Amino acid sequence: MAIAPEKQTALDWVDNNRQTLSDWHNTIWDFHEPAWREYKSAAWYVNHLRQEGFEVEEASGGMPTAFCATWSNGDGPTIGSYAEYDAVPGNNQDRVPYRKLRDGIHHAAAGHTDPHSALGMSGLGGILAAKAAMEQHGIGGRLKFLGEPAEKVCGSKPVHAAKGYYDDMDAAISFHPSFGGLRTNTAIWDTHCGSYWSCIYNFICEEPETWKSVGAPGPGSAHTMARAPGANDALCLMYTTTKYTKESMLPHTGTWTLNEALLATGDATSDNLAPRFSQIQYSWRSPLLEMQQRIAEVLDNNAEHVAKISHCRVEKRWVTKTRVGLPNHAMAQLAYDNLELVGGPQWGDDAIAFCREMQENLGLEPMDQPILQEMIDLCPPEKGEAQLRAMLPPWQINYTSDDYVDWTWHTPTVRLIVGRCTLKAPDNYTYPGWSWNALGGNSSTIDPTIFCAASTIGATAIDLLTRPESLQAARDEFNERTGGGIGGSKWVPPLLPVDFEPPVGFHWPEYVSTTRGEEWYVPETA
């Protein structure tokens, strides 16, 4: 079947800009900035989008590393997409086929895992491809491209949603590189991501002197008197109490997780003084909002009790609260049709040589074809759905978590998954994590994913702009599933309030500048 000239222009733009997209990706991958601290990455996107003629709001939603960019070519639908660009602490790895830290970078510094560097560049490439076709063929419409920081803590999208940034879009395209063999090179059909909630508990010992110390008669000193348990004990009690009560939070069926992280508090002090302040972050994922609420209730109860035990008071601060994903079959089928047109990612001789060298460095016999076939083959949405449903209990309607789900409640949204270079594994062998990160940074192994995804995004955007019947089908389905669209009878509103203050002020991992120079926030040598 002949390809419409408008769509061909979008596809040609990606083909003609492959080296540019590859270079841009390397730039973001080399910034490797963690959640809420993606200053260089966000600035790069803002500057480049302005050069492309977009109007850009910086720090959208009150988030310093977020942005909202729009470009209009006259009357027509508004089509949205986004970039992510946060890296993950503890994943420092160079783009080489062996374990190696980046030169001069702390061993615990951040690195791109999924990688979000490729996710963002695919979205940008698709939007710019659509823009080129709109300009050349006089297609009316508006493109909206958002910068979404801190996805690893599901941070920005619930904030943007609560503040209305998604309400004016007619349809949107969400993309993620593959993260496993199932549901790869496809569009998600029914089982979208579940919910992710996260909060921080602060334990504060404001009046340690009011802890009554009783001892032998006679003069005493602060070195011999019993001190208040204080904030460190509160944190330890919260940690252990929650480990005990986790067993009783929810039934032992389906998939859900609860994990914690300790935030640095700067509380090093004299050994005989009660620690005044501590913080612990909890993050939990489950398929249902009711399950999320139950976990939150147990955590709150634990925090209240351990604060009393340790002579502290407790403050709670939400980091994020996402909803669950809302399907849209019309959008999924439209995107998959374009993925079929483009074809799955194809890896060349340089990529295969890189993979074989990596296997050899790991002490494995290099394979003739080292890349997993599932990363190349296409998977129709219904087939991918069946693969996943075979693993899940019938009652579970969502799986894992990602904050793109908040887009799905404001506009018809497709979740596109494109394969990324993944090595075949010998029996009973698991590749080390650094190898995954290196494959996401090496151009020969990550570029095919970017090119495939950008082409599919661009082509899908053009269909939505030029085929009113396709857009209307997606809108009709969205209205039916929400009971009338935004505010409808079955619509779930944002879980954060419109005046929510993004949690950017906490002691998140980051790069810092001191008189010692540029360093990771933990100032120690490797």
| End-to-end CA separation in angstroms for the chain | 58
- Give me the residues paired with residue 194 across strands: 401
Domains, the chain, in order of start with CATH, read 5-194+324-482 (3.40.630.10), 196-211+225-321 (3.30.70.360)
- Give me the residues paired with residue 200 across strands: 281, 317
Distance CA 82, CA 125 (A): 11
**Average pLDDT per run of 10 along the chain, which is 526 residues long?**
93 98 98 98 98 98 98 98 97 98 93 97 98 98 98 98 98 95 95 98 94 64 75 95 95 90 72 86 98 98 98 98 98 98 98 98 97 97 96 95 98 98 95 97 98 98 98 98 98 98 95 88 68
Distance CA 474, CA 412 (A): 6
Closest CA to 78 of 131, 134, 143, 129: 143
User: What does the block give as tokens for 7?
Assistant: 């769509």
Strands 171-177 and 413-418: parallel
Give the angle subtended at the CA of 14 by the CAs of 13 and 16, to the nearest 5°: 65
Q: What are the residues whose beta carbons fall under 8 Å from the beta carbon of 465, sequence distance 6 or more? A: 76, 77, 79, 130, 134, 139, 140, 141, 471
* pLDDT value of position 2: 87
- Give me the residues paired with residue 318 across strands: 199
Q: Containing H/E element for 202?
A: strand 195-204
Tell the residue number behind the tokens 């702390």, with chain if given.
Answer: 106
* pLDDT value of position 227: 83
* pLDDT value of position 526: 47
* Helix, strand or coil, per DSSP, at residue 104: coil
* pLDDT value of position 518: 85
Distance CA 519, CA 525 (A): 10
* Residues 433, 427 contacting (CB under 8 angstroms): no
User: What does the block give as tokens for 280?
Assistant: 């612990």
Cβ-defined contacts of 240-248 (< 8 Å, 24+): 241/302, 241/305, 241/306, 242/282, 242/298, 242/299, 242/302, 245/298, 245/302, 248/298
User: What does the block give as tokens for 161?
Assistant: 């949603």
Distance CA 6, CA 461 (A): 11
- Give me the residues paired with residue 286 across strands: 195
Examine residue 426 and say whether the peptide bond preceding it is cis (omega within 30 degrees of 0): no
* pLDDT value of position 353: 98
Three-state SS string across 233-249, please?
HHHHHHHHHHHHHHCCC
- How many Å is the Cα radius of gyration of the chain? 25
Mean pLDDT of the chain: 95
Q: Containing H/E element for 24?
A: helix 18-31
User: What does the block give as tokens for 85?
Assistant: 């660009």
52: DSSP letter: T
